[in-house]
Amino acid sequence: MELISCITDMHRKADALRREGKTIAFVPTMGYFHEGHLELMRQAKNWGDVVIVSIFVNPTQFGPGEDYERYPRDMERDLSMAGKVGVNIIFNPSAQEMYPARYQTYVEVEQVTQNLCGASRPIHFRGVATVVAKLFNIVKPHVAFFGQKDYQQLVTVTRMVADLNIDLKIVGVPTFRESDGLAMSSRNSYLTPVQRRDARNLYRALQRAQILAAQGVTRTELLVNEVRKIISSAPSIEIDYMKVCNPATLEDISEVTDTAVLAIAAQVGRARLIDNIVLKEGTRA
């Protein structure tokens, strides 16, 4: 496994791979790997001749008071895990390399970043779109993999790629879960044992809403009330939002008559956790 930290080296390596006719499959990450990350890498392995994984805790997507400083990092463990999955190249630039003095260019995806997490994290998706655009220019992939857990991120990146005519395919990979259903996240490491147990209720509530929708409950208000009831029974969870949205535009939906996603965010102790579930696979594009 090759380790590259300089942008120019990565440019030259990507050029060489493309000249050889190799397909580059890319998994951008912030490191501190769990099974969800490894699943993205495995899928990348199936898709491309060469798998490149970036590890970069991106400062521009954290707001003031968020967990940029204490975001968990363990490069040695990450390298060992990625090596076992068969990753070919790790790209891990410094923040100084990515954002030198006088840095001043940002990519803004406007509508799909307004709702959900965008409402409480105003600069988050600008930071995500910007760093992903940079990484795509650096790594020059043919295909890139993103987890569906970060649903709004997946929609934002997909929208950016289409709008800016970036010639690559985005693959959304289903959320990897612990045995009790909790969506895997590097931030789960912040949870105390009690909070960890309470956190199960997030996915349980989503599943319950999915069942109700399948049984014909269409009113968002009723579905969300049910979700709130289940989550609120766990005292350490503080709900940020519970929204039923159009999966492409992320606009609120009041009646689930066509394709719809239920997305939630909650603070559990020091961890801000998010999850989502498809309520209805629709016919709408």
Note if 37 is an active site residue: yes
Question: Could you tell me the two tokens for 243?
Answer: 């929204």
Residue with tokens 């895990």: 81
Q: Which residues pair with 89 in a beta bridge?
A: 2, 52
Q: Which of 132, 134, 120, 266 is nearest to 190 (CA)?
A: 266
Q: Rule CB under 8 A: which of 147-206 touch a copy of itself?
A: 159-160, 163-167
Longest dimension (CA), the chain: 57
For a copy of itself, the binding residue among 249, 269, 278, 282 (CB under 8 A) is: 249
Nearer to a copy of itself, 160 or 184 (CB): 160
For a copy of itself, the binding residue among 107, 205, 230, 244 (CB under 8 A) is: 107
Q: Is 18 in the site for a copy of itself (CB under 8 A)?
A: yes
Measured in residues, the chain has a length of 285
Q: Is 129 in the site for a copy of itself (CB under 8 A)?
A: yes
Count of beta carbons in the 10 Å neighbourhood of residue 49: 14
Look at residue 210 and give its three-state secondary structure.
helix
Nearer to a copy of itself, 140 or 196 (CB): 140
Nearer to a copy of itself, 37 or 140 (CB): 140
Contacting residues for 50 by C-beta, under 8 A, at least 6 apart: 17, 22, 23, 24, 25, 88, 89
Give the range of 108-116, 194-202, 232-240, 267-275 binding a copy of itself by CB under 8 A: 108-116
Q: Is 94 in the site for a copy of itself (CB under 8 A)?
A: no
Nearer to a copy of itself, 38 or 138 (CB): 138
Look at residue 241 and give its three-state secondary structure.
strand
| Spatial separation of the C-alpha atoms in residues 189 and 186, rounded to whole Å | 6
Catalytic residues: 37
Applying CB under 8 A, the residues found at the interface with a copy of itself are 7, 11, 15, 18-19, 21, 102-112, 129-130, 133-134, 137-138, 140, 159-160, 163-167, 249
